[in-house]
Amino acid sequence: MRAVIQRVQNAQVHVDGKEVGSCGKGLVILLGVAPEDTDSQVTWLVDKISGLRIFADDDGKMNDSMLDQRLSALVVSQFTLYGDTRRGRRPGFSRAAPPAIAEPLYERFCEVLAAKGVAVGRGVFGADMAVSLVNDGPVTLILDTP
Protein backbone atom coordinates (compact mmCIF):
# COMPACT_ATOMS: atom_id res chain seq x y z
CA MET A 1 0.00 0.00 0.00
CA ARG A 2 1.05 3.53 -0.61
CA ALA A 3 -0.35 6.63 1.06
CA VAL A 4 0.20 10.31 0.55
CA ILE A 5 -0.88 12.15 3.67
CA GLN A 6 -1.41 15.87 4.01
CA ARG A 7 -1.97 17.68 7.26
CA VAL A 8 -5.03 19.88 6.76
CA GLN A 9 -7.18 22.43 8.51
CA ASN A 10 -10.19 20.96 6.67
CA ALA A 11 -11.03 19.07 3.50
CA GLN A 12 -14.00 17.96 1.41
CA VAL A 13 -14.57 15.57 -1.46
CA HIS A 14 -17.34 16.02 -4.02
CA VAL A 15 -18.81 13.63 -6.59
CA ASP A 16 -21.07 15.11 -9.28
CA GLY A 17 -21.15 18.40 -7.34
CA LYS A 18 -22.36 16.78 -4.12
CA GLU A 19 -20.22 16.59 -0.98
CA VAL A 20 -19.74 12.93 -0.07
CA GLY A 21 -17.06 13.21 2.61
CA SER A 22 -15.18 15.73 4.70
CA CYS A 23 -12.93 16.23 7.67
CA GLY A 24 -11.95 19.03 9.98
CA LYS A 25 -8.44 19.46 11.32
CA GLY A 26 -6.49 16.28 10.64
CA LEU A 27 -5.26 14.39 7.60
CA VAL A 28 -6.21 13.83 4.00
CA ILE A 29 -5.06 10.31 3.15
CA LEU A 30 -4.74 9.42 -0.53
CA LEU A 31 -4.58 5.62 -0.55
CA GLY A 32 -3.25 3.34 -3.28
CA VAL A 33 -3.44 -0.45 -3.17
CA ALA A 34 -1.06 -2.89 -4.91
CA PRO A 35 -2.14 -6.38 -6.06
CA GLU A 36 -0.08 -8.13 -3.38
CA ASP A 37 -1.46 -6.09 -0.45
CA THR A 38 -3.28 -7.83 2.38
CA ASP A 39 -4.95 -7.01 5.68
CA SER A 40 -1.55 -6.94 7.39
CA GLN A 41 -0.54 -3.95 5.26
CA VAL A 42 -3.78 -2.23 6.24
CA THR A 43 -3.04 -2.69 9.95
CA TRP A 44 0.58 -1.58 9.60
CA LEU A 45 -0.32 1.54 7.63
CA VAL A 46 -3.19 2.59 9.91
CA ASP A 47 -0.93 2.19 12.96
CA LYS A 48 1.85 4.18 11.28
CA ILE A 49 -0.34 7.04 10.08
CA SER A 50 -2.45 7.38 13.22
CA GLY A 51 0.66 7.40 15.41
CA LEU A 52 2.77 9.85 13.40
CA ARG A 53 3.76 12.78 15.56
CA ILE A 54 3.16 15.54 13.02
CA PHE A 55 0.83 17.87 14.93
CA ALA A 56 1.95 20.69 17.19
CA ASP A 57 1.76 20.19 20.94
CA ASP A 58 1.13 23.00 23.43
CA ASP A 59 4.72 24.19 22.92
CA GLY A 60 4.39 24.35 19.14
CA LYS A 61 6.59 21.29 18.55
CA MET A 62 5.52 18.43 16.24
CA ASN A 63 5.04 15.95 19.08
CA ASP A 64 1.38 14.94 18.86
CA SER A 65 -0.36 12.36 16.70
CA MET A 66 -3.85 12.58 15.31
CA LEU A 67 -4.89 10.19 18.10
CA ASP A 68 -3.40 12.46 20.77
CA GLN A 69 -5.51 15.36 19.54
CA ARG A 70 -8.57 13.33 18.49
CA LEU A 71 -8.45 14.62 14.93
CA SER A 72 -10.28 13.46 11.82
CA ALA A 73 -9.30 12.10 8.41
CA LEU A 74 -10.58 12.12 4.86
CA VAL A 75 -9.57 8.93 3.02
CA VAL A 76 -9.63 8.95 -0.78
CA SER A 77 -8.80 5.93 -2.93
CA GLN A 78 -6.20 6.77 -5.55
CA PHE A 79 -4.91 4.07 -7.88
CA THR A 80 -2.77 6.66 -9.68
CA LEU A 81 -0.30 6.53 -6.78
CA TYR A 82 0.98 3.40 -8.51
CA GLY A 83 1.34 5.11 -11.89
CA ASP A 84 4.52 4.13 -13.74
CA THR A 85 5.99 7.02 -15.72
CA ARG A 86 9.40 5.56 -16.49
CA ARG A 87 8.63 5.04 -20.18
CA GLY A 88 6.73 7.19 -22.61
CA ARG A 89 4.34 9.95 -21.72
CA ARG A 90 1.28 7.99 -20.67
CA PRO A 91 1.45 6.45 -17.19
CA GLY A 92 0.91 2.73 -16.85
CA PHE A 93 -1.14 1.42 -13.95
CA SER A 94 -0.33 -2.29 -13.94
CA ARG A 95 1.15 -1.97 -10.43
CA ALA A 96 -2.22 -0.84 -9.04
CA ALA A 97 -4.56 -3.51 -7.70
CA PRO A 98 -7.75 -4.20 -9.65
CA PRO A 99 -10.96 -2.99 -8.01
CA ALA A 100 -11.87 -6.48 -6.72
CA ILE A 101 -8.75 -6.38 -4.52
CA ALA A 102 -8.42 -2.64 -3.92
CA GLU A 103 -11.94 -1.74 -2.84
CA PRO A 104 -12.23 -4.20 0.08
CA LEU A 105 -8.78 -3.13 1.35
CA TYR A 106 -9.71 0.55 1.03
CA GLU A 107 -12.90 -0.10 3.01
CA ARG A 108 -10.95 -2.12 5.59
CA PHE A 109 -8.43 0.71 5.97
CA CYS A 110 -11.27 3.14 6.73
CA GLU A 111 -12.83 0.71 9.22
CA VAL A 112 -9.56 0.06 11.08
CA LEU A 113 -8.80 3.79 11.26
CA ALA A 114 -12.30 4.51 12.57
CA ALA A 115 -11.91 1.74 15.18
CA LYS A 116 -8.98 3.71 16.60
CA GLY A 117 -11.38 6.58 17.34
CA VAL A 118 -10.69 8.69 14.24
CA ALA A 119 -13.69 10.31 12.57
CA VAL A 120 -13.28 9.14 8.96
CA GLY A 121 -14.74 10.86 5.93
CA ARG A 122 -14.54 8.91 2.67
CA GLY A 123 -14.46 9.43 -1.01
CA VAL A 124 -16.37 7.14 -3.36
CA PHE A 125 -14.25 4.26 -4.62
CA GLY A 126 -13.77 4.41 -8.39
CA ALA A 127 -15.57 7.74 -8.85
CA ASP A 128 -14.25 10.94 -10.38
CA MET A 129 -13.84 13.11 -7.31
CA ALA A 130 -13.06 16.75 -6.64
CA VAL A 131 -10.98 17.04 -3.47
CA SER A 132 -10.51 20.44 -1.87
CA LEU A 133 -8.42 21.11 1.17
CA VAL A 134 -6.67 23.75 3.21
CA ASN A 135 -3.15 22.41 3.66
CA ASP A 136 -1.67 23.02 7.12
CA GLY A 137 2.06 23.68 7.26
CA PRO A 138 2.29 22.39 4.60
CA VAL A 139 3.10 18.91 5.85
CA THR A 140 2.95 16.19 3.20
CA LEU A 141 4.41 12.70 3.58
CA ILE A 142 4.57 9.59 1.39
CA LEU A 143 4.40 6.20 3.10
CA ASP A 144 4.88 2.74 1.62
CA THR A 145 4.17 -0.47 3.50
CA PRO A 146 7.04 -2.90 3.93
Catalytic center residues: 78-80
E strand intervals along the chain: 2-15, 18-23, 26-32, 55-56, 62-64, 72-77, 119-122, 130-144
CA distance 97 to 85: 17
In contact, 102 and 79? CB cutoff 8 Å: yes
